[in-house]
A and B are shown apart, each in its own frame.
Chain A
Amino acid sequence: MFGLQSGKQKFPCFGLTHNWVKRSIFWELPYWKTNLLRHNLDVMHIEKNMFENIFNAVMDVKGKTKDNIKARLDVALFCNRKNIELVCDGSRLAKPRASFVLEKNAQLLVYKWLKSLRFPDRHASNISRLVYTEECRLYGMKSHDCHVFMQTLISLAFRDLLSKGIWDALTEISHFFRDICSNKLNVDHIERLETNIVETICKVEMIFPPSFFDSMKNLPVHLPFEVKVRGPIQYR
């Protein structure tokens, strides 16, 4: 089956009761229906996405952060978080600094620390090369840099700069990815991860605004199950 002819046509009830767009050609393989789990997620991609969104939100990177004006407007509608709602200041609207965003001084501290970082050979690329302290930006992070940052640096970078609850949640995510990426996995341990990650994501839900949670943020919940069925994720 070769999909719909133009992007505008959709199957009936698309987006309401189902999200099918075509009949995949793989169903033509005679044994395909006996495969327990047919499509696997790319963990590296999820990790990169997760890292970028967390880092941009915490460092308040202009244009990249998910914590923008519209997000704050949604916070007023869906959440009970008076301290991060927009404040009417005379004729202007002010966006108060959220608890998960670092102050400017703290941001500079993080960038300076990143600038001075040295890694063991072949552990990661030279991340200090990607740091632009004056602009307060990281440019040209590759997936593997994000992977290293997510697993080892994120808890170090924000330690004592963020409040305890927020730092805990971020560190738990970092540890989740570190555990699930190991090349030797114990089934009991994965089951433990499966229950823990839900609680961790719930903690993150209590911190970040609703717009932070796009479809990628939901996927870590399903990763331990996928690992249980399909084996370690270094083979992806």
Chain B
Amino acid sequence: MDDRSWMYQDSPQKLRRMDYCNGVQGFINFATSISRNFTDGSFRCPCKKCKNKKFMHQDVITMHLLTKGFMEDYLCWYAHGELFVPNESMVERVVGSTSSASNMHEVRNDNSNPYRNMVMDAMRMSEGNVSECPIVEEEPNANETRFFDLLKDSNEPLWDGCTNHNKLSVVAQMFTIKSDHGLSEAGYDKIIKWARSILPERNRLKMNFYAAKSMIKPLGLGYQKIDMCPNFYMLYYLEIAELTECMTCGHSCYKPRTGRGKTLVANKKLRYFSITPRLQRLFISPRTAEHMTWHKSHHEVDRVMVHPSDGKAWKHFNSVHPHFSAESRNVHLGLCTDGFNPFGSFTAPYSCWLVILTVYNLPPRMCMRPEFMFLSMVIPSLSSPGQNIDVCLRPMIDELTQFWSSRALTYDISRKHNFVMRAALIRTINDFPTYEMVSSWSTHGKLACPYCMENNKAFTLINGGKASFFYYHRRFLPPNHRYRKNRKDFFVGRVEKDVAPRVFLVKNCMMLCQSTVTLCLVSNQVSRSFLVLV
């Protein structure tokens, strides 16, 4: 690296010295000589204000640099094609800052093929630790070949002599455009057809959407399609996957055949996105792996709550399961579910149900970001599954149970070793109608409140016909409150002497569970379906 002391030397009157002007010209020449820098004819502006975040034309950048000067610590022009060689002061700064991992990541991206990194990330490796990662050796062969195919694609130029595009990058960028602008599959195919006519002969652009999609498929985590009874009575899953009729309602699994088509089409399909590989991926990326222990490492102020981990329930759970809490990388999950109509609320009635898992290990700024909420199930239906949502949740509960007992071997990139990960579902979050489906305590009628449960004083209105919780809240007041003796403004002629109902917590839940089991076994039909599916 040549001498760059000119970059941060100012004359007292804020006038630029001659060597500074020459230096800026040198920088511009250097930056324009590297074609990789350019995006739409402009490149990153390293001035004090833009800080390499904005793309400008070279004349504008010269102007900026002459008036504002360079951003701090930009002795190495890493965003303009120079190899990143941190000097000592910079190393300290990078380590000290919280986002060190993301910095390193960007640097790595700048200096090598980003699409190669994409493939590497997806295949549980990054270039540094190929030899250290024992998972790679255990992976099945088919996976390996697909991985090396992709790796080859990321190095193969689009046509012989092409320097800035490779086979993978074109497909990846086209997919981005397609999803950003809602391009149809036919539109995609037409654009590709047209682009192929522009490109030189013997180019390697994938013919159509289908070919491009099958090429990029190994990068994704995939999902499972499970046939389902259209009335939500059973899943065609595991040992009963071969059945063709529902065991409860006798409804056929498949649609009646029309025409000469030979394939059988299921009436309803559940899409299940397995949670284990998604959680494992959080530990593979250096951007997220270090944050997965935030819940334990953050500084806790007494009696102040900023995160679910400060709550009583989290601490209780950790104290009951010391073997689980000992490993701070174990994952705490939350589940929420709700239905929506993807076709707008005023068209045909349709209610598509989603189940989403949230990772509560992450710090507050990341915890509720959409990228860390994992869609784990899509249940298509015309109406809500109601109480039978349990049928659909079966694969997820199975996986979570397994996750608790048998664990999953995971590679943690922040500490560079393997560990066994476990995950626990700590709570569900629902709106009030869904509360009934998930918790199994009905939220209708006079006993609707899931906290007061049977110690309830709601009554039915004679004219309105609905349950009313009027004059209900006085018993939560302190014993000698003046409202308790008020006979005039509340229910006429009544004083309140009751105390607030006890809330069922951990002691009673075993009892509640037992009582529900006995309740359930009272009904014969229920026990039949119970025997079939458990």
Contacts and interface: CB of A to CB of B under 8 A. Distances in A.
Q: Do A and B bind each other?
A: yes
A214 B435 contact: no
A199 B483 contact: yes
A14 B134 CA distance: 56
Interface stretch (A121-129, A167-175, A181-189): A181-189
A20 B513 contact: no
A183 B440 contact: no
Nearest to B475: A198
Contacts of B453: 18-19
B447 A31 contact: no
Given A187-B305, A188-B303, A71 B390 contact: no
Contacts of A188: 303
A40 B429 contact: yes
Contact of B441 (A3, A20, A187, A221): A20
Interface in A189-234: 195, 198-199, 201-202, 205-206, 210-219, 221-222, 225, 227-232, 234
A211 B519 contact: no
A27 interface: yes
Contact of A25 (B393, B466, B515, B523): B393
A87 interface: no
B441 A33 contact: no
Contacts of B477: 198-199, 202
Interface string A8-39: 01011011011111111111111111111111
Interface stretch (A57-65, A73-81, A90-98, A108-116): A73-81
Contacts of B388: 2-3
A1 interface: yes
B449 A215 contact: yes
B520 A229 contact: no
Contacts of A5: 233, 248, 525-526, 529
B442 A20 contact: yes
Interface string B452-484: 111000100111111111111110111001010
Given A19-B448, A35-B317, A41-B432, A214 B440 contact: no
B449 A219 contact: yes
A47 to B, nearest CB: 11
B257 interface: no
Interface string B495-534: 0000000010110011001011101101101100110011
A31 B394 contact: no
A7 B519 CA distance: 16
A98 to B, nearest CB: 14
22 contacts: A4-B387, A4-B525, A4-B526, A5-B526, A15-B446, A20-B441, A21-B436, A26-B425, A33-B513, A35-B317, A36-B317, A38-B427, A45-B431, A71-B464, A188-B303, A199-B477, A210-B468, A214-B468, A217-B469, A218-B448, A221-B473, A231-B309
Interface of A: 1-5, 7, 9, 11-12, 14-15, 17-42, 45-46, 49, 70-71, 73-74, 77-80, 183-188, 195, 198-199, 201-202, 205-206, 210-219, 221-222, 225, 227-232, 234-236
User: Which 5 A/B pairs are nearest by Cβ-Cβ distance?
Assistant: A3-B387, A231-B311, A210-B470, A215-B448, A36-B313
